[in-house]
A and B are shown apart, each in its own frame.
Chain A
Amino acid sequence: MALTPFCSPPPSLCSSFRSLRRGLFLPLLQAYPYTTSKGAVPMPETALMALRFEVLGRFNRARAAQLTLPHFVCQTPLFMPVGTQGTIKGLATNQLEDIGCQIILGNTYHLALRPTSELIDELGGLHKFMNWPRALLTDSGESSGWKANAPYTRGVYSNPSMCFTLAYFGYSCYINRIGADIIMALDDVVKTTITGPRIEEAMYRTLRWIDRCIAAHKRPYDQNLFGIVQGGLDPVLRDICVRGLVDRNLPGYAIGGLAGGEDKDSFWRVVAQCTAALPEDKPRYVMGVGYPLDIVVCSALGADMYDCVYPTRTARFGTALVPEGVLKLKNNAMAEDTRPIDSTCACMVCKNYSRAYIHSLVSKDAMGSQLLSYHNLYYMMQLSRNLHSSIVRGKFPEFVCNFLQKMFPKGDVPEWVCNAMEVAEIDISSCRARFRDD
């Protein structure tokens, strides 16, 4: 495998652009020699893709689309539940279909460990192994496993390229054997709360690695390799990374490195910058998002796909997702409450069970986790469906206002949401309390 020379990154231009304000004034950068195809392996014009992305409706930056993948035809915006180890905790595959899940995540690192990618391959791939007929996406294992254990993280090493070769050689085998419809490139992720040259290093490394991912990818006809934009919270780095990835003409792009504790104001700006710069005709996936509010904002800014452990994890802690925000079923007040979790929800749990009954189950019986996970995922799928249909029917601003009014009945919509909606050109003034200063 040819090793590209290790190029030292150009001096950072962060200081010049620290005053970057509302979104989308992108600096007119000279094309850095590095970001053109020097040493990179560009995808041919007739890019090998295993998907089709057709935009069916728009509202300013938001779009509703049909994403055709080898195993399923999906409607975006969509939320993808996380099934790290080949299962969504506590739910059977037919329930996931009933709820309306379109794509599920699996984790390459965890599955490579147990039951091993060779075994999954031998048994016909992950779809067959877990009997999930719809689409699958495998991530490398950002927050655990892969990155934590790759050699370069453990202190002194001589040639990072050499280490990558060792790490990646395994990775490409694993992801091809597991056989998901979408496979995420191996990227170098750092927490957004970290500052300093490490972020720049990670961004450039991600770019170098994407070429090797492309070269090692053995199944471009039925597996889509998505590149991941890194660069921390620095707009200059993000821009370099976006351009580098777009040059490679990949089937889809993800915005990574977020959802890690950064403040919301920085978060939405990075999403806004990236969605503006990524191609219109390819899906955009914001990784690790998350809260329903974040999904609505990112969709308004032009993102299409999301994943997060939040809905299922919070279910196991006894918290239900409702239009008003969250409902903590463990709370003693729930013991006498005979209403359903959410009277507007059409799921099996809300149609049959009272808050009092679920309260008696949560944190004591497995059934409690199951029922809440079911409801929470149904809520997220319904949110996805509502986003898609409201954009297609031209009612997206009404949907957003309705959503915000329910969540912030007193009109106290957070500042960051207001700023983001301004950039997305969606008028949410009807949801905001008027502050009379005069």
Chain B
Amino acid sequence: MKFVVKALSNGTARAGVLHLDSVAAAIDTPSLLLSTRKGLPLFTSPDLLSSFPSPDSRLLHVSPLHFLEGLSIKTISKIGGLHQLVGLHDCGFAAFPRDSIQCLPEATATNKTGASFETPCGRLLIKPAEYMEMMSSMKPELWATLADEVPAWVSDKRNKTSVDRTIKWLDECIALSPVSGAVFGAIVGGSSLEERRRCAQEVATRNVSGYWIGGFGLAESMDERPALLNAVTEALPEEKPRLICGLGLPEEILQGVAAGVDLFESTYIYHLTLEGFALTFPLDGTRINAPNVAGIDPRKINLRATVFRKDATPIVEGCLCYTCQNHTRAYINHLLNVHEMLAQILLEIHNTHHFLGFFGLIREAIKAGRFEEFRKDFVRSRYDGLVEDGSEPVLLAR
């Protein structure tokens, strides 16, 4: 793996280039990691993956926890690792246990032997040795060391313990390191600025290829987050990539970019898709002209609404995704009403495409040196003329 910073904007936001052996083209950052379940997207089938823009759609997040319920380490090794297992060859896998959709860290159950996660199969405890065995058999392009993530409300003592533990596990994981795959050191610290700084400084001294920033998206507020993010990134060397987990909404992504993060795992697409939403905010950099009609949300539309029953237009006019090129709002409205799986498939395809487009806008703004301006504009325009509809806080809950 190779990473180079190409441009800076406003001091900390950076545009870079990531080279992975398994991906033919270089990936521009800031970039999104597509969420997967056992290595494949939740709804988009593998033969439709190629319809996404490339190479920005070639980074996939995989959680080893997904495999604990049905596929043994031995079998994965026998098949030859993730690429052979999921039949995707021209992509890069980033492996870390936390999957903000379904496998969230359970801080109360984590102890000195291992990290606990609440998963659809119940509570799972994963120890460093076990974790490293999974990394050896899965062979991801990059992986994070095991972390003890805690939510914002824990006591200072618990928070401090989490930092000590995470650093200890980092050293254990590196010692058991497999031959292939770039190691990303995990950084935690909850909502304490000192702990965040301490952890980042410690991890910065270790021999890692990049940094995995955890513990966010666990009930800290959007207001306190920038300071916490900066406390981490300021202590890290500039030339190594930073990956963050748990920032979902576009505004949160922008906070991460502003602090100097390069790679993002987000649950936004998943939640939108499940609830029947499709992203519609403009991707050409123009200000959203929010109409004065109350209740019309310029950011996204809910295709369950009866107003779309006869709407024979695509979700977004001019969008090049498979869904918009082939289907209409009316058809998706019908699919949602009759509870057909194809609705989620089509929505996930469009939302992924659109969200990847958003990342494209971010990169452009950074390269043009006007990231802060872009960010302020974007945040402001999403709320202009909008009636408070209560939908976004739901997405922030996790």
Contacts and interface: CB of A to CB of B under 8 A. Distances in A.
A364 B70 CA distance: 10
B38 to A, nearest CB: 6
Nearest to B51: A94
Given A122-B310, A366-B42, A369-B341, A338 B79 contact: yes
A371 B39 CA distance: 14
B45 A335 contact: no
B75 A95 contact: no
Nearest to A86: B334
A365 B45 contact: no
Nearest to A362: B70
Interface in A231-277: none
Contacts of B333: 115
B85 A354 contact: yes
A133 to B, nearest CB: 10
B330 A336 contact: no
11 contacts: A90-B341, A92-B48, A92-B342, A95-B47, A114-B334, A115-B333, A351-B87, A356-B79, A357-B85, A360-B67, A360-B70
B45 A370 contact: yes
A352 B70 contact: no
A122 B310 CA distance: 8
Nearest to B311: A123
B87 A365 contact: no
Given A114-B334, A114-B337, A119-B309, A359 B70 contact: yes
A98 B47 contact: yes
Contacts of B47: 95, 98, 348
A353 B79 CA distance: 10
Interface of A: 85-87, 89-95, 98, 110, 114-115, 119, 122-124, 129-131, 335-336, 338, 348, 351-354, 356-357, 359-361, 364-367, 369-371, 374
A87 B79 contact: no
Contact of A94 (B40, B78, B79, B326): B326
Contacts of B346: 92
A17 B328 CA distance: 56
A141 to B, nearest CB: 14
A170 to B, nearest CB: 20
B38 A371 contact: no
Given A92-B48, A122-B310, A367 B43 contact: yes
B5 interface: no
Name which of A115, A356, A360, A370 has the most chain B CB atoms within 10 A of its CB. A360
B45 A95 contact: yes
Q: Which 4 A-B residue pairings sit nearest by Cβ, starting from the closest? A: A352-B87, A360-B70, A90-B341, A360-B71
Contact of A123 (B67, B70, B87, B310): B310
B86 A357 contact: yes
Contact of B330 (A123, A366, A374): A123
A360 B48 contact: no
B341 A366 contact: yes
B204 interface: no
Interface of B: 37-38, 40-43, 45-48, 67, 69-72, 74-75, 78-79, 85-87, 120, 309-310, 312, 322, 326-328, 330-331, 333-335, 337-338, 340-342, 344-346
Contacts of B69: 360, 364
A416 B128 CA distance: 60
Contacts of A124: 312
A211 B79 CA distance: 61
Given A89-B340, A357-B85, A366-B43, A119 B310 contact: yes
Nearest to A365: B37
Given A366-B43, A369-B341, A371-B45, A131 B326 contact: yes
A87 to B, nearest CB: 5
A356 B75 contact: yes
A90 B342 contact: yes
Contacts of A95: 45, 47-48
Nearest to A90: B341
A115 B337 contact: yes
Contacts of B74: 336
A359 B338 CA distance: 28
Name which of A86, A91, A115, A131 has the most chain B CB atoms within 10 A of its CB. A115
A92 B43 CA distance: 11
Given A87-B342, A90-B345, A92-B48, A335 B71 contact: yes
Contacts of B331: 86, 129-131
A218 to B, nearest CB: 23
B340 A85 contact: yes
A419 B6 CA distance: 76
Nearest to B70: A360
A252 B345 CA distance: 36
B156 to A, nearest CB: 40
A95 B45 CA distance: 10
B42 A129 contact: no
Name which of A110, A114, A348, A364 has the most chain B CB atoms within 10 A of its CB. A364
Nearest to B327: A131
Contacts of A115: 309, 330, 333-334, 337
Nearest to A118: B310
A351 to B, nearest CB: 8
Contacts of A366: 42-43, 341, 344
B87 to A, nearest CB: 3
Contacts of A374: 45
B86 A114 contact: no
Given A338-B75, A360-B71, A92 B344 contact: no
A93 to B, nearest CB: 7
A180 to B, nearest CB: 17
A114 B71 contact: no
A129 B71 contact: no
Contacts of B328: 123, 129
A352 B326 contact: no
A92 B47 CA distance: 11
B75 A92 contact: no
Name which of A92, A124, A353, A374 has the most chain B CB atoms within 10 A of its CB. A92
Contacts of B75: 335-336, 338, 356
A201 to B, nearest CB: 34
Given A119-B309, A336-B75, 13 more contacts: A86-B334, A89-B340, A92-B345, A130-B331, A335-B75, A336-B72, A338-B79, A352-B46, A354-B79, A357-B86, A360-B71, A367-B43, A370-B345
Nearest to B67: A360
B42 A365 contact: yes
A131 B324 CA distance: 12
Name which of A354, A356, A357 has the most chain B CB atoms within 10 A of its CB. A357
B42 A367 contact: yes
A89 B43 CA distance: 12
Nearest to B40: A367
Nearest to B80: A338
Nearest to A374: B45
B185 to A, nearest CB: 30
Contacts of B344: 366
Contacts of B309: 115, 119
A123 B312 contact: yes
Nearest to A124: B312
A370 B43 CA distance: 8
Nearest to B335: A87
A123 B310 CA distance: 7
